[in-house]
Structure 1
């Protein structure tokens, strides 16, 4: 399945140094896994974590997209992380705190043909989002909302108002360049209602999915970012009604009292394609 076409409803962070967590992740119903060599691994464990992760990725993770987050290239571990990850059986390498296309150039020089993803988590990154998304090797954005909140010195709000300008810039850039974009984590992993509300907000904004810090968050994210039964039903009826009108020589149909034009049909087809892609993941 093409990486851009596949679902990214749930993207779970897993510490690359934890063998038990790496093994458990094989059975979790997530669309993608970020194998983390950065924040989740203590400095003294980083070198050993590469070997642990290499061994884990030598075994199958099924249809789950496998993304390796390395340390920044200006750290003592970053370059070796990049080289090691490029030799692993992974689908992409994720670089933290990306603020320019030049950083992606430097990573690309180290990791061959492996697709690149970028953590978007600083004001400079937000302001350079269009340049970063346009990079020919870039395939995905991951929002780092915890770091962004720290950089903004913003207060926590359930509506995330302080970070919406930055999120909006990244969304625009991602959509303009056909890049996958997944939302930041929700820290209170036992607060299912809060997580659901933030997932719904992210989906309303146009996010492709949600990064997660705990397996308990998976079901909420999978549901929020999947087409609902009602959306699937509406999409089918819109397509059918529009095709009937076109066959009669018209160009505008009406479904549930609302006009349906070609642009609505294009959205409807994407909805059905996403539902089919999700179904294919679990087959």
Structure 2
């Protein structure tokens, strides 16, 4: 089973040369080099060139590199997409996706611009229509031409669009998060939690990471390097979880358990579905270890 850890995914403003240079030293699993919200209008063009050059130059170790472009209805969207395609990042993040058509249009633009086949598409889920259409958006992943692999929750924009308040525990947002998680899982798409705005409140951030993990999200988007270590710890399989997963795999591999759908292990009934979960746990643990080696 192939897996790519996306525990911590840090936004980096594309207009900040020092931040881009520092990115290669950070322990985030993935970096989103941003051309959209964090870049002022008069800096958009310069940021585009700076980000494209940074991606072409490389040096990010095994970290996944993503460029967030401006939307197609902005003055910068088309040129952002063309420049990002030419730079060849691991993925391009589309803002304000309302339905599956936006993903397929972007995929066509990437193909026409000659983007490498490995460049995937991620989608921001940050509008009411995105939540309402989560299932149809996720379903385009079945078409290999879509390049679609990851949903990214944008709760600040959702709060703005719906007038729902972002409060501790996120009671106004959990239903929307859950519906997007279910849509992602139904169609084999990864899904990342939104950002936590209070950089100084690491205890609150830790609690929100735990909430996201327990809801089934694969990781969390971040706005500051101080949040990386907590995020990496929470979204990584714990040592006891890895040990338990290995025990399940080993037990099903025993000759006496060949062909069985249910076995008993340490006094517990274990099914094949638990073996499938265990394989993913080990794949993520192995991928995290490989990422650490690549970054060393």
Q: TM-score, normalised by structure 2?
A: 0.90
Match among 237, 251, 257 for residue 227 of structure 1: 237
- Does the 8 A contact of 1:123 with 1:166 survive in 2? no
Tell me how far 1:168 sits from its aligned partner: 1.5
Structure 1 partner of 2:68: 69
Instruction: Give structure 2 stretches of 5+ with no counterpart.
Output: none
- Please report the RMSD computed on the Cα atoms of aligned residues, expressed in angstroms: 1.7
Task: From the superposition, tell whether residues 33 and 212 of structure 1 become closer, same or farther in structure 2 (CA, over 3 Å).
Answer: same
Q: Deviations along 1:20-76, whole A, 9 cap, x unmatched?
A: 000000010111000100001000000111111122112221111111100111111
Structure 2 partner of 1:133: 138
- Does the 8 A contact of 2:126 with 2:155 survive in 1? yes
Structure 1 partner of 2:87: 88
1:1-12 aligned at under 5 Å gives the runs 5-12=3-10
Structure 1 partner of 2:289: 279
- Does the 8 A contact of 1:242 with 1:251 survive in 2? no
User: What is the total number of aligned residue pairs between the two structures?
Assistant: 281
In the alignment, is residue 144 of structure 1 matched against residue 149 of structure 2? no
1:132-281 aligned at under 5 Å gives the runs 132-135=137-140, 136=143, 137=146, 138-244=148-254, 246-247=256-257, 251-281=261-291
Deviates more, 1:121-130 or 1:159-168: 159-168
- Does the 8 A contact of 2:166 with 2:173 survive in 1? no
Structure 1 partner of 2:124: 119
- Secondary structure of 2:12's match? strand
Structure 1 Cα separation of the partners of residues 220 and 255 of structure 2: 38
Instruction: Give structure 1 stretches of 5+ with no counterpart.
Output: none
